[in-house]
Amino acid sequence: MRQIHLMLVEAGLELVPPQIASHPAVKRNAERRGKKPLETLLDISVHKPAMAKLPKWYKRGRPDIAHGFLLLAQGSILNIEGLLRVHLYTFSGLYIEVDPSLRPPRDYRRFIGLMEQLLKVGRVPPDRPLMKVREEALKSVQRRIRPDVTVLLSEKGQPVKLREFGRIVLQHGTPLIMIGGFQRGDFEEETRSIADLTLSIYPKPLDTLTVTSRVLCSLESELLKW
Ligand SMILES: C[S@@+](CC[C@H](N)C(=O)[O-])C[C@H]1O[C@@H](n2cnc3c(N)ncnc32)[C@H](O)[C@@H]1O
């Protein structure tokens, strides 16, 4: 059966790194939530004063993007029809495998708690895991998925009309489509180098969630003929 792979790449999703664990902004947030600083998720909306010294801070600490992406992708018609596999690859080099039956928490605070548990324990829920995490190079993840084309979405890519996007991608049986899950900045060479095609669906930069929703819609319309 046909499988479309959709991956959020360089996602700004990680636990607070040790370099900033003792910063007052990080400690205050952790104490308020009854957690250890290193067991809390890095979030730029809470930790901005602490993040300035982190390399590429502007690409990190955006779990809200991963939350919205998972809600859109897991709830999509493509997923309901059993045609989609969703993956997350984080800025810090972690691969998160997502089961098609996962229903992400609607509530953002509950999502944060779930991802903290995932990054601490390695799987959630621990008894019957619907998400698993491991350290793995992006190239190796791609090798295991074995796509017959890898498409990177970027405002700097080759322009395509949105209605043609689905047709171009679905000429291939097992496409892997990658969308950036970071706040701003460019893709790393590790990501760019594994793409066969880099496509732009609009002449200006768009939000991750706008791109995700349009891409899903274009694929659904082409595949399901509506
Ligand atoms: C870099 S992130 C920026 C995130 C944004 N600030 C947010 O909060 O969602 C947006 C991602 O969407 C995709 N994207 C943005 N504009 C696009 C465009 N015009 N055509 C195709 N993909 C685009 C790229 O994959 C890019 O990495």
Tell me the pLDDT tens digit for each residue of 1-60.
789 999 999 999 999 999 999 999 999 999 999 999 999 999 999 999 999 989 999 999
Question: 10 Å Cβ neighbour count for 123?
Answer: 16
pTM above 0.75, yes or no: yes
Percent above pLDDT 70 for the chain: 100
Q: Are 171 and 190 part of one and the same domain?
A: yes
Q: Using the mean position of ligand 1's atoms as its centre, give its distance from the Cα of residue 154 in Å.
A: 6
User: Residue of the nearest CA to atom 17 in ligand 1?
Assistant: 155
Locate the ligand 1 atom nearest the alpha carbon of residue 65 and give its number. 9
Residue 216: which domain range? 1-14+61-226
Tell me the pLDDT tens digit for each residue of 194-207.
999 999 999 999 99
- Name all residues whose Cβ lies below 6 A of ligand 1: 65, 153-155, 179-180, 182-184, 200-202, 205-209, 211
Q: What is the mean pLDDT of the chain?
A: 97
Q: How confident is the model at residue 225 (pLDDT cuts 50, 70, 90)?
A: confident
* Rounded Cα–Cα distance for residues 191 and 64 (Å): 21
- The count of structural domains within the chain is 2
H/E element holding 114? helix 108-121
Locate the ligand 1 atom nearest the alpha carbon of residue 199 and give its number. 21
Residue 226 reports pLDDT greater than 80: no
CATH code of 84's domain = 3.40.1280.10
**pLDDT (0 to 100) of residue 53:** 87
Q: Are 45 and 142 part of one and the same domain?
A: no
Q: Are 151 and 221 part of one and the same domain?
A: yes
Q: Are 211 and 167 part of one and the same domain?
A: yes
Q: Are 23 and 72 part of one and the same domain?
A: no
* Rounded Cα–Cα distance for residues 200 and 138 (Å): 22
- Average pLDDT of the segment spanning 91-103: 98
Q: Using the mean position of ligand 1's atoms as its centre, give its distance from the Cα of residue 179 in Å.
A: 7
Q: Are 192 and 134 part of one and the same domain?
A: yes
